[in-house]
Amino acid sequence: MTTRVVRNIGELTTNDPAIGDESSLGRLLDAAMVVDDERVLWIGPNANAPDADEAFDAKNGAVIPGFVDSHTHLVFAGERSDEFEARMAGVHYDGGGIGRTVGATRAASRDELRQGTKKRIAELFAGGVTTVEIKSGYELTTEGEARELEIAQEFTDEVTWLGAHVVPPEFKNNREGYVELLCSTMLDSCAPLAKWADVFCDRGAFSVEEAREVLERSRAEGLLLRLHANQLAHSGAVALAVELDAASVDHCTFLEDSDIDLLSASATVATLLPGAEFSTRSEYPSARRLLDAGVTVALATDCNPGSSYVTSMAFVMALAVREMFMSIDEALFAATKGGALALRRNDVGHLGIGARADFAILDAPRAAHLVYRPGGNVVRDAYRSSKS
């Protein structure tokens, strides 16, 4: 394998407390790093950097672990900018526009969906995302959901079946029939194509009882679990996520103290998606309540055409700092190591020895510039392991 040394790193964030300043972010100044095609091999002072087959000059730029975007809906067709305009004019968001994207996605060819996904993946990578999760959920038929999952597989191993996104129009008067389809024919077709199962458990989507049925059947088929919860109202879904040991419960806009107590005593990550609140002019989640209670928090883009057409993790960090009162370091950790924990991964989201060689070099001396310079892309280069 080819080895590469990255020299002249102004500030290196590793997210490994055994390295550097021994904080949770494991920071070193005036640092260097050696990687091969797959893994991080060495980290230390720039003056002590060993030789390697190839050398890169960070030019005093900061280096961070690659972002881990643990919640996206990248496989879709169409756009809903008119809904965004309406919300900015005061129209309340209720999740009702998903059906429009379902119609557009069903009508699109496989190649159109693939090319759209490829474009959005490229935007994420240009902004420093090196690991991404992709959900289905915009076809809501057995064949269509399988098609979305097959496209997602071309871009990531972190593939999530979200057949339980909303009840499609053809089942408007037969919810029970759709849940039965989810738990039988659709699951049989989709489980071999996915790693995760997810349900939108919220007002206007699926109830706790319906979500439980889908998730328990999915787990029996070998899928790991995640859950959309409490974006629109308090639904009781957080308790369900913790009970079923879901890796992540996402949105978490409306939380009671009992929800936070449950999360703090569990391995379930609270994944916050402030791009959705920005795009729907809604109340932001209380990140401080979660963090102060010891809950593990992740940040993700929630990239989708209706409520968060966002492909910049730096923008998500800026929202988290400005609107949810996270510190910049907390936001950076949540967008990297937090995302990895939300995917139950220990090989990404950090730059400890043996981690995947997934990292970003910034055109800035400190990682704080990701938030300090909102609206600009300070990522100079992003690198992914050959295994990514």
At 103-160, the pLDDT tens digits run 999 999 999 999 999 999 999 999 999 999 999 999 999 999 999 999 999 999 999 9
Which residue, 272, 265, 224, is CA-closest to 242? 265
Distance of CA 207 to the CA centre of its chain: 23
Q: Is the pTM higher than 0.85?
A: yes
Which residue, 161, 222, 209, is CA-closest to 186? 161
Write out the DSSP string of 261-285: HHHHTSS-EEEE-HHHHHHHT-PPP
At 344-358, the pLDDT tens digits run 999 999 999 999 999
Contact 268, 254 (CB under 8 A): no
Q: How far apart are CA 61 and CA 15, in angstroms?
A: 17
Residue 95 has what pLDDT? 66
Q: How far apart are CA 333 and CA 339, in angstroms?
A: 8
DSSP state of 202: S
Distance of CA 11 to the CA centre of its chain: 25
Domains of the chain as residue ranges with CATH: 4-65+350-383 (2.30.40.10), 67-342 (3.20.20.140)
Distance of CA 356 to the CA centre of its chain: 18
Write out the DSSP string of 278-317: HHHT-PPP-HHHHHHTT--EEE----BTTTB----HHHHH
The encoded tokens of residue 221 equal 């088929």
pLDDT in tens, the chain (388 residues): 899 999 999 999 999 999 999 899 999 999 999 999 999 999 999 999 999 999 999 999 999 999 999 999 999 999 999 999 999 999 887 767 899 999 999 999 999 999 999 999 999 999 999 999 999 999 999 999 999 999 999 999 999 999 999 999 999 999 999 999 999 999 999 999 999 999 999 999 999 999 999 999 999 999 999 999 999 998 899 999 999 999 999 999 999 999 999 999 999 999 999 999 999 999 999 999 999 999 999 999 999 999 999 999 999 999 999 999 999 999 999 999 999 999 999 999 999 999 999 999 999 999 999 999 998 999 999 999 986 6
Which residue, 319, 295, 333, 293, is CA-closest to 374? 319
Residue 24 has what pLDDT? 92
Which residue, 209, 245, 237, 230, is CA-closest to 283? 230
N- to C-terminal Cα distance for the chain?
A: 16
